[in-house]
């Protein structure tokens, strides 16, 4: 910290700035997690100043929703964050249900949790690839991205889509579980339980990974909450915070799982948190399959062309792999949203936090730090 | 941690044990992966089932679907003739189009590969460009999963036993909540507008009702129909026959919704206040109208709004024509009619009652007096049954019977009535006779499902205890010694398919003679016109063929100054067609006189 502070101080002095070199990392850079740019000033290998630049991927989804009806809006949501679209759908669906007072059948709640946890695992499989790849460890990514396909197969069977599921919608879910689906899920979980050991051997037991991540990209615990850090990144600072526990939704309060935390605030701690969360997701999925009640899966909405929501606003938040993702909707009583606003973890992590913690780090670690924060540029800009 | 970590250096080498394992990937195209049974791939559309309602195009938030004409598919009643075309460059395979398709013709398939160098070829018409897609269907909507609301909000009605005690209105009307719920089922496809003779703005006013703007609904309705409450109660509602929702569910209750909207304006004054029509300054032109039926009233109302001085000559004591004298009051109460007539009069339309053209005033006089003449004279006479014994006392025409009842006259029908016919007039006469305390039998040549009467009317009659004898052809009316009807003799009929492709014909079975006792027999086998008011000097120009005036598409007869409409012109012979005639004639008269 002291080192950083000194550099910050020096940074203000003009003569030092003259010595610095400016580098543009992104938007077309394999180490960047998507279409955004980090403009860094380096002295030697050390970053003295970092500025993020976004604007390559703005699709104005929030504005578009104002011209779509309440059902049409739902199909835009999955594009907020491609690797893990389901928590966004979940937040929107719950916000709409909250505003309308629409009941969701118990079975639908279980199916939603199943979806969300499968999505969490799928997203972490991609994270494995990104995190290890950013350090030059490419084998792990080959494995995990390949294994992620087994989860995508499940999605395909359940929802009809592999990546864009468009499955969790207001009132419940779109289709019931197909026959024999629960067994397939359990078999896939068995596979992952065995498989996780292989990843550990290559990643967490690997000296290169340990040395490159321990003490790198540190977020001070006392600043974390103030800076708006959420999700696994916050838990990697040793702070226990998870919406599934703090503000339980669906049936999370009926399930038995723990929220892993790690002191340290560095890439290593965040990686450990994620690794342990996969284990917890498997645990949750097993419980969901076991306890899922029979019955309705959908409390049908009225004719979508005439479906209005009462005047008012609603806010619903969901725990995603990036942290808290939330949807705020405002209705003026018409068939369109008057305003929607999306709160994603990637905005805080990818813009304000990244600019702070990059200072003093080695330029070669930019990619590893970005990956460890779960920065998703499509979500920042949406 | 020491500088050299043996475990951490060797562990990654365990990756080597993966050698020789079966990989995740498959070697395409030697092997390919079958998509999941629910996969959302390229579209398929069953072109025969599709009705071109455009709902898919409406819900598509990517604007990836447009509706196009394709060769070999023509528009017809309840089918716009258009079919969806998908821009696969825009589609996101969300399948909302599938979820809202009312017929269930649109679905997604397991097909997910399409490669072409030509970007224009990504625009393709499912069903035409992939005719074999049917076997590949994977993501489809069933009645359970569909987002259409298939069940109609039931209309509250009087119980059958209660109804026959009086002429109180049977249909009680929707409450506000019921109307909103029913209106919100509409998908605004507009197939109904296309088939309505008057092309009323149906999706628009239903939308106004759904969103709670009843006054807007009334204004939209009055845009081209001055007798909407009448239509809301007794319209033949061809719109509902083609309702897209009816492909898999119950049609929107379009008629009842119109009724609801117009009933929110309780009096003529309130109607005037809500509609607040723009009445143009008097232009000094005059129009004479013969007959205050639906066509005459419509022409009069819209001409008056356009600044014409309009006078209607009506032979009866009340306006409304067949809707006043033909339709029983339990379907269309007199207050409801009066309210609408008062409103039309408040615009400035003059109606001269009890003035029969040809008797109280000559046609020539009217012709000379006005700049244009519109004849909405209707069909005042009914066909007699034409069988042996037809002249017996107690044998009458149903239309005449309804006229007398509606005029407030007392008719003694005895306790056993036989009505011959299967149209709305037959059902009306039967249900009125039930209210007079008689046992009623309807004798119809064909099967019940062939009856031209409204299915709700047939059900209503059955609820009230009317007995229907299908496939019965009357051959004789038996008389007692005083010359009064005693019984009706009929032959049973079998249905023989029509060689020319028409509906099956009833053919009498020899020797199947059956006799039913009766105190009255009513013939309801059709009406005809009475054109005796027309002097010979006009019949050269104003042609009459097969009992109806010959008019062009502007409702103009051979005499350019004379227009005609209503039952005396169109074969459909219902109120909404008459209103459409009146509206067309109004526009043509305005066009003709406006230029002068």
User: Searching chain B, which residue's CA lies closest to the CA of residue A206?
Assistant: B8
ipTM of the complex: 0.83
Return the ∠ at Cα B444 (arms to B438 and B445), rounded to 5°: 160
Tell me whether residue B335 is exposed, middle or buried, using C-beta atoms within 10 angstroms of its C-beta: 0 to 12, 13 to 18, 19 or more: exposed
pLDDT at A81 over 60: yes
Indicate the length of chain B as a whole number: 596
Q: What is the pLDDT at residue A234?
A: 92
Tell me the pairing of strands B485-496 and A21-25.
unpaired
pLDDT digit of tens for each residue in chain B (596 aa)? 456 778 878 878 888 888 888 877 788 888 888 888 999 989 999 888 899 888 999 999 888 999 999 888 888 888 888 899 998 888 989 999 999 999 989 999 998 888 888 888 888 888 888 888 888 889 898 888 888 888 889 888 888 788 888 888 888 888 889 999 899 999 888 888 888 888 889 999 999 998 888 999 999 998 888 888 888 888 888 888 889 898 888 889 998 999 899 888 888 888 888 888 888 888 888 899 998 889 999 999 999 988 899 999 988 888 888 888 888 888 888 888 888 889 888 888 889 989 888 888 888 888 888 888 998 888 888 888 888 888 888 888 888 889 888 888 888 888 889 999 888 899 999 999 988 888 999 999 888 888 888 888 898 888 888 999 888 888 888 888 888 888 889 888 888 888 887 778 888 888 888 888 888 899 888 888 888 888 888 888 888 888 888 888 888 888 888 898 888 888 887 888 888 989 999 989 988 887 66
A285 to chain B, closest Cα gap in Å: 22
Tell me how far apart the alpha carbons of residues B77 and B73 are, in angstroms, rounded to a whole number: 13
Residues 6+ away with beta carbon under 8 Å from B68:
B82, B83, B84, B85, B125
Q: Which CATH architecture has domain A61-381?
A: Orthogonal Bundle (1.10)
Residue B372's alpha-carbon distances to A315, B557, B562, in angstroms, are: 66, 12, 6
In this complex, is the C-beta atom of B5 within 8 Å of any C-beta atom belonging to chain A? yes
Cβ contacts of A156 on chain B, cutoff 8 Å: 35-36, 38-39
Record: contact B5-A202, CB cut-off 8 A: no
Of A160, A178, A206, the CB nearest to B8: A206
From chain A, the residues in CB contact with B184 under 8 A are 302-303, 306-307
- Which domains does chain B show, CATH number per domain? 43-139 (3.30.70.3270), 160-274 (1.10.1060.10), 282-380+529-595 (3.50.50.60), 382-527 (3.50.50.60)
pLDDT at residue A8 greater than cutoff 80? no
Query: In the β-sheet with B43-45, what is the strand arrangement from edge to edge?
Result: B43-45, B106-109, B137-139
Structure tokens given for B400: 């005449």
Tens digits of per-residue pLDDT, A292-335?
A: 999 889 988 888 988 888 999 999 999 999 889 999 999 998 88
| The residue to which tokens 């017929």 are assigned | B103
Q: Residues 185..204 of B with a Cβ closer than 8 Å to A: which?
A: 185-188
Mutation target to probe the B interface, by most B beta carbons within 10 A, among A92, A207, A297 is A207
Q: Which residue from A minimizes the CA distance to B33?
A: A153
d(CA B104, CA B150): 12
Q: Which chain B residues are within 8 Å of A146, Cβ to Cβ?
A: 23-25
Contact call for B184 and A153, based on CB within 8 A: no
pTM: 0.83
3-state SS class at B347: coil
Q: What's the CA gap between B397 and B385, in Å, rounded?
A: 8
* Closest Cβ–Cβ partner in A137, A161, A302 for B93: A161
The domain limits of chain A are 2-53, 61-381
Report which of A12, A16, A37 is spatially closest to residue A358, judged by C-alpha positions. A37
- Partner residue opposite B8 with nearest CB, options A210, A303, A306: A210
For the stretch A218-277, pLDDT in tens is: 899 888 888 889 999 999 998 998 999 888 998 999 999 999 999 988 999 999 999 999
Q: What local confidence, expressed as pLDDT, does residue A7 receive? A: 60
Count of Cβ atoms closer than 10 Å to residue A28 Cβ: 9
Which pLDDT score is estimated for B358?
A: 84
Residue A53 CA neighbour count, 13 Å, CB half:
11
Taking contacts as CB-CB distances below 8 angstroms, the residues of chain B near A159 are 38, 40
Residue A13 reports pLDDT greater than 70: no
A76, A160, A205 member nearest B36 (Cβ): A160
Alpha-carbon gap, residue A199 to A184, rounded angstroms:
22
**Residue A46's beta-bridge partner residues?**
A43, A362
DSSP string, A224-245: HTTTT--HHHHHTTT----HHH
Chain A residues in contact with B96 by the CB 8 A cut-off are: 71-72, 75, 304
Q: Does B94 touch chain A (CB under 8 A)?
A: yes
Q: How many cross-chain Cβ pairs, A to B, lie less than 8 Å apart?
A: 110
Q: Which of A250, A236, A192 is nearest to A369 (CA)?
A: A236
Query: Rounded to whole angstroms, how far apart are CA atoms A174 and B241?
Result: 31
Q: How far apart are the C-alpha atoms of A154 and A167, rounded to whole Å? A: 13
In angstroms, what separates the C-alpha of B179 from chain A's closest C-alpha?
13
Partner-chain contact B11 A139, CB within 8 Å: no
Do strands B43-45 and B65-69 pair parallel, antiparallel, or not at all (unpaired)? unpaired
Six token digits for residue A250: 């669906």
φ/ψ of B579, rounded to 5, equals -60, -40
CB contact burial A79-114 (16+ within 10 A = b; e otherwise): bbbebbbbbbbbbbbbbbbbbbebebbbbbbbbbbb
Q: Is A194 exposed, middle or buried (0-12, 13-18, 19+ CB in 10 A)?
A: exposed
Q: Do the Cβ atoms of A87 and A346 come closer than 8 Å?
A: no
Any bridge partners for residue A53, and if so which? A37
Out of A149, A304, A308, name the one closest to residue B59 (CB).
A304
Of B5, B23, B59, Cβ closest to residue A207: B5
Nearest CA in chain B to A174: B145
Which chain B residues are within 8 Å of A71, Cβ to Cβ?
A: 59, 96, 147
Closest residue of B to A171, CA-based?
A: B147
**A370 HSE (CA, 13 A, CB side):** 30
- Residue in A255, A242, A259 with CA at minimum distance from that of residue A318: A242
Reading the block at residue B581, the tokens are: 């005639």
Distances (CA, A) of A313 to A299, B323, B402, B422: 21, 51, 59, 57
Say which of A73, A137, A178 has its CB closest to residue B38.
Answer: A178
In terms of CA atoms, which chain A residue is nearest residue B149?
A303
Residue B191 neighbours by CB distance under 10 Å: 26
Query: How would you label A284-321 residue by residue, b for 16+ Cβ within 10 Å and e otherwise?
Result: bbbbbbeebeeebbbeebbbbbbbbbeeebbbbbbbbb
Strands B416-420 and B520-523: parallel
pLDDT digits over A194-217, tens only?
889 888 888 888 888 888 898 888
Token pair listed for B72: 């070999």
Higher pLDDT, B75 or A170: A170
Q: Contact A153/B36, CB-based, under 8 Å?
A: yes
A166 contacts B187? CB cut-off 8 A:
no
C-alpha B337/C-alpha B294 separation (Å) is 11
CA–CA distance from A159 to each of A174, A177, A178, A240, A284 (Å)? 8, 9, 10, 33, 20
First to last CA, chain B: 107
Q: Tell me which residues of chain A have a C-beta less than 8 Å from any C-beta of chain B.
A: 64, 68, 71-73, 75-76, 137, 139, 143, 146-147, 149, 153, 156-161, 164, 166, 174-175, 178, 198, 201-202, 205-208, 210, 300-308
Interchain CB distance below 8 Å, B8 and A166: no
Distance (Å) from the alpha carbon of A119 to chain B's nearest alpha carbon:
18
With contacts defined as CB-CB under 8 Å, which chain A residues touch B37? 157, 178
B184 with A175: Cβ contact below 8 A: no
Within 8 A of B61 by CB-CB distance, chain A residues are: 64, 68, 72-73, 75-76
- Report, as an integer, the average pLDDT of A89-100: 93
């Amino acid at each position: 910290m002291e080192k950083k502070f000194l550099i910050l101080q020096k940074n203000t002095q003009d003569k030092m700035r003259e010595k610095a070199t400016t580098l543009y990392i992104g938007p077309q850079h394999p180490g960047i997690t998507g279409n955004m740019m980090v403009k860094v000033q380096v002295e030697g290998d050390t970053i003295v100043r970092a500025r993020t630049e976004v604007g390559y991927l703005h699709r104005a989804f929030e504005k578009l929703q104002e011209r779509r009806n309440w059902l049409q809006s739902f199909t835009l949501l999955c594009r907020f964050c491609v690797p893990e679209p389901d928590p966004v759908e979940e937040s929107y669906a719950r916000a709409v249900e909250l505003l309308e007072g629409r009941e969701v059948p118990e079975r639908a709640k279980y199916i939603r949790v199943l979806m969300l946890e499968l999505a969490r695992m799928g997203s972490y499989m991609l994270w494995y690839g990104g995190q290890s790849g950013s350090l030059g460890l490419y084998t792990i990514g080959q494995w995990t991205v390949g294994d992620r396909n087994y989860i995508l197969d499940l999605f395909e069977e359940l929802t009809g889509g592999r990546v864009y599921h468009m499955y969790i919608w207001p009132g419940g879910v779109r289709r019931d579980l197909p026959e024999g689906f629960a067994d397939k899920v359990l078999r896939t979980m068995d596979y992952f339980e065995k498989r996780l050991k292989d990843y550990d051997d290559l990643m967490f037991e690997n000296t290169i990974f340990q040395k490159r991540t321990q003490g790198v990209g540190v977020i001070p615990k006392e600043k974390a909450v103030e800076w708006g850090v959420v999700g696994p990144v916050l838990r990697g600072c040793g702070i226990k915070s998870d919406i599934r526990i703090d503000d339980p939704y669906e049936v999370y309060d009926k399930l038995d799982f723990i929220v892993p935390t790690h002191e340290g605030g560095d890439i290593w701690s965040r990686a450990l948190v994620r690794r342990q969360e996969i284990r917890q997701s498997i645990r949750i999925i097993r419980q969901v399959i076991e306890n899922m009640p029979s019955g309705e899966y959908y409390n049908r909405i009225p004719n979508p062309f005439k479906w209005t929501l009462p005047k008012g606003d609603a806010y619903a938040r969901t725990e995603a792999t990036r942290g808290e993702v939330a949807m705020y909707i405002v209705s003026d009583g018409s068939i369109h949203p008057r305003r929607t606003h999306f709160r994603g973890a990637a905005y805080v992590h990818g813009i304000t936090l990244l600019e702070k913690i990059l200072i003093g780090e080695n330029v070669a670690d930019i990619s590893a730090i970005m990956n460890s924060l779960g920065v998703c540029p499509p979500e920042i800009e949406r | 941690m020491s500088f050299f970590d043996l475990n951490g250096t060797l562990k990654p080498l365990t990756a080597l044990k993966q050698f020789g394992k079966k990989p995740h990937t498959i070697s395409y195209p030697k092997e390919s992966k079958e998509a999941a049974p629910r996969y959302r791939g390229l579209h398929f559309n069953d072109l025969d089932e599709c009705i071109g309602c455009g709902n898919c195009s409406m819900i598509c938030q990517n604007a990836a679907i447009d509706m196009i004409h394709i060769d070999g598919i023509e528009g017809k009643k309840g089918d716009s003739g258009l079919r969806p075309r998908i821009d696969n460059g825009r589609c996101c395979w969300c399948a909302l189009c599938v979820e809202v398709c009312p017929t269930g013709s649109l679905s997604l398939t397991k097909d997910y590969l399409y490669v072409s160098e030509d970007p224009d070829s990504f625009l393709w018409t499912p069903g035409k460009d992939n005719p074999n897609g049917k076997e590949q269907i994977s993501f489809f909507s069933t009645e359970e999963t569909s987002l259409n609301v298939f069940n109609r909000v039931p209309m509250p009605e009087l119980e059958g036993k209660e109804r026959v005690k009086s002429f109180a209105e049977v249909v009680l009307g929707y409450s506000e909540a019921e109307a909103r719920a029913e209106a919100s089922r509409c998908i605004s496809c507009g197939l109904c507008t296309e088939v309505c003779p008057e092309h009323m703005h149906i999706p628009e006013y239903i939308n106004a009702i759904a969103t709670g703007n009843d006054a807007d609904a009334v204004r939209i309705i009055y845009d081209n129909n001055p007798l909407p409450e009448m239509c809301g109660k007794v319209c033949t509602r061809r719109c509902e026959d083609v309702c897209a929702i009816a492909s898999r569910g119950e049609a929107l209750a379009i008629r009842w919704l119109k009724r609801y909207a117009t009933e929110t304006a309780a009096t003529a004054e309130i109607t005037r206040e809500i509609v607040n029509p723009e009445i143009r300054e008097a232009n000094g032109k005059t129009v004479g109208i013969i007959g205050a039926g639906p066509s005459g009233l419509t022409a009069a109302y819209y001409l008056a709004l356009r600044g014409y001085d309009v006078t209607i000559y009506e032979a009866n004591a009340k306006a409304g024509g067949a809707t006043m004298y033909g339709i029983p009051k339990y379907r269309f109460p007199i207050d409801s009619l009066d309210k609408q007539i008062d409103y039309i009069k408040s615009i400035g339309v003059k109606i001269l009652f009890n003035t029969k053209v040809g008797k109280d005033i000559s046609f020539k006089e009217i012709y000379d007096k006005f700049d244009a003449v519109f004849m909405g004279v209707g069909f005042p006479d009914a066909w007699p049954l034409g069988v042996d014994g037809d002249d017996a006392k107690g044998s009458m025409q149903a239309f005449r019977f309804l006229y007398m009842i509606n005029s407030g006259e007392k008719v003694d029908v005895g306790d056993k009535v036989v009505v011959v016919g299967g149209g709305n007039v037959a059902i009306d006469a039967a249900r009125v006779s039930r209210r007079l305390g008689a046992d009623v039998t309807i004798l119809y040549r064909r099967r019940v499902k062939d009856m031209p009467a409204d299915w709700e009317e047939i059900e209503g009659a059955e609820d009230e205890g009317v007995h229907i004898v299908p496939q019965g052809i009357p051959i004789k009316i038996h008389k007692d010694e005083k010359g009064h009807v005693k019984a009706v003799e009929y032959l049973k009929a079998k249905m023989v398919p029509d060689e020319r492709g028409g509906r099956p014909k009833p053919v009498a079975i020899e020797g199947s003679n059956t006799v039913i006792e009766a105190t009255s027999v009513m013939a309801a086998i059709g009406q005809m016109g009475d054109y005796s008011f027309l002097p010979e000097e006009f019949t050269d120009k104003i042609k009459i063929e097969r009992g109806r005036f010959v008019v062009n598409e502007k409702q103009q007869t051979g005499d350019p100054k004379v227009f005609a409409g209503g039952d005396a012109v169109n074969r459909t012979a219902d109120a909404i067609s008459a209103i459409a005639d009146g509206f067309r004639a109004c526009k043509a008269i305005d066009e003709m006189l406006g230029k002068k």
